[in-house]
Structure 1
């Protein structure tokens, strides 16, 4: 089983504070950290920590941050042989404020904008060797659509995590194998005319909606709504929790697990990831997740 992530690679500049500042307000920060991130890279690291064979496809700048990020992926067990180093373009940056067990994030795309159709054409033969591909929205939309098109034509499963939220063409939504928005992102994709339950029933065992502290929901092919409740966590930092869930879910469905089993493991992994600081630093191993699932049960 070989998995792939096509997406963003960022350096996170994370400041911790007592709380997140209000509009126009200045607060004293506690600490500033430079931490490897990017939704794509986070998801790849989560998958590698869970034991998957995963390759990261994306772009970084020819700067110190880019070098550190590629090395970090390699040390996590992610294949990086086809990451493109773009001259004269800075590596992507995410500015993150952490406070009150929550966060705000501003992303400056940088080299992530160079993950274009030409780049995908240059790596598509390697991409076609994979069993499943995970995508997000921190690279150009036309690239996301192109990867969905060429992978589905080859019968390769595609998981689309539509974050950050932006509209997606209906034909792309129909083509992906799994779609994993949160409630806000689902409203951007589908509007507010349908309830969560109605949406889930429209896309059984395809649409997975994360609901924060309530857990994660999907619909079985029988029409029964499946709600996997959130595990109680001693939250330190929620950054990367959604990426952990998506990475874990992708690994599990690639193994052929049923949707309930995949979501239970992914939900537990995401919860564990919030108990340590940093998006990737708190991501658990498969052994840690299984141990916690047994204890929690």
Structure 2
């Protein structure tokens, strides 16, 4: 089985449920607080593992009460945590407010994630060649991420990058990416082009291809997703319509499932349908990692949709 390495954030999500999000200066009553393991890196690692992958996670947790639970959650879902390190600081925290429509707002406190350095990762470089792909996000320090991208390219490892939170990425870095996965906001920050429809998504994807990215995948929320490959292949996939109760980790579920689908040698169209199904299932469940579906659940959903 092909192996995937995920290097990224590991957070504890502190989720407050409310009827509606407060306006500036407004106080609203909450209906419950939950502590749920999350973080873009960890969420995507779990999504890929539950979708059938052999996944290893490199990241950092703090020396606090959350660290043990964060690592155990990854292990429970089949992610190898042998290379998760501990920092003498708090673990990453995400303060999430979830309204009655399933929409969320998030405040992120990076904690141990922002302390993960090149020096921490250097001992693992000789192991990079044991993996077919590397999956990254942007919740680590920018310098750490960019250094890792360059090192992975030198070793011929296929790089999936979800640059969220986004910034204006240098063109020389984009040229090292095999698959760039971005939403509308991230696409606009990187390309300067506002995404309003499929046509503008295609224009932005072409700009990124011109900058050297091999494959571009733009997620469009409830409007589906758009793929553009170096070979000129384009695929637009509609989102599956379900009754959402929590959208917290839908994007991470999509990305992890998509990366794993490509590892299973699916075509772009098949991989997008697989990832879209995974995301659709996830929003019908509460939580982050626990909401990601298994490979069997995704396949059953797709069979049902085809009937």
For the criterion TM > 0.5, the same-fold answer is: yes
Q: Is the 8 A contact 2:216 2:229 kept in 1?
A: no
Q: Which residue of 2 aligns with 1:285?
A: 294
Q: In structure 1, the residue corresponding to 2:73 is in which secondary structure?
A: helix
Gaps (5+ residues) in structure 1? none
Q: Which residue of 1 aligns with 2:284?
A: 275
CA distance, structure 1, for counterparts of residue 125 and residue 28 of structure 2: 47
Q: Which residue of 2 aligns with 1:10?
A: 11
Q: Does 1:212 align with 2:213?
A: no
Q: Is the 8 A contact 1:201 1:223 kept in 2?
A: no
Q: Is the 8 A contact 1:7 1:139 kept in 2?
A: yes
Q: Which residue of 1 aligns with 2:135?
A: 134
Deviation at 1:226, TM superposition (A): 1.7
Q: In structure 1, the residue corresponding to 2:277 is in which secondary structure?
A: helix
Deviation at 1:224, TM superposition (A): 5.5
User: With structure 1 as the length reference, what TM-score do the two structures score?
Assistant: 0.96
CA distance, structure 1, for counterparts of residue 168 and residue 121 of structure 2: 22
1:109-154 Cα deviation digits (max 9, x unpaired): 0000122111110222223311101000100011111111011111
CA distance, structure 1, for counterparts of residue 235 and residue 49 of structure 2: 27
Q: Which residue of 1 aligns with 2:202?
A: 197
1:35-55 Cα deviation digits (max 9, x unpaired): 000000001111111121100
Q: In structure 2, the residue corresponding to 1:219 is in which secondary structure?
A: strand
User: With structure 2 as the length reference, what TM-score do the two structures score?
Assistant: 0.93
Deviation at 1:193, TM superposition (A): 7.4
Q: In structure 2, the residue corresponding to 1:181 is in which secondary structure?
A: strand
CA distance, structure 1, for counterparts of residue 113 and residue 70 of structure 2: 13
CA distance, structure 2, for counterparts of residue 113 and residue 7 of structure 1: 10
Q: Which residue of 1 aligns with 2:267?
A: 258
CA distance, structure 2, for counterparts of residue 165 and residue 57 of structure 1: 21
Aligned residues: 296
Q: In structure 2, the residue corresponding to 1:64 is in which secondary structure?
A: coil
CA distance, structure 2, for counterparts of residue 185 and residue 175 of structure 1: 18
Residue of 235, 243, 246 corresponding to 1:237:
246
Q: Which residue of 2 aligns with 1:167?
A: 168
CA distance, structure 1, for counterparts of residue 233 and residue 154 of structure 2: 30
Q: Is the 8 A contact 2:257 2:275 kept in 1?
A: yes
CA distance, structure 2, for counterparts of residue 196 and residue 171 of structure 1: 22
Q: In structure 1, the residue corresponding to 2:290 is in which secondary structure?
A: coil
Deviation at 1:219, TM superposition (A): 2.3
Q: Is the 8 A contact 2:215 2:229 kept in 1?
A: no
Q: Which residue of 2 aligns with 1:147?
A: 148
Q: Does 1:185 align with 2:182?
A: no
Deviation at 1:221, TM superposition (A): 5.2
CA distance, structure 2, for counterparts of residue 205 and residue 234 of structure 1: 35
CA distance, structure 1, for counterparts of residue 94 and residue 129 of structure 2: 30
1:51-96 Cα deviation digits (max 9, x unpaired): 2110000001111101110111111111000111112x11000000
Gaps (5+ residues) in structure 2? none
Q: In structure 1, the residue corresponding to 2:239 is in which secondary structure?
A: coil
Q: Which residue of 2 aligns with 1:75?
A: 76
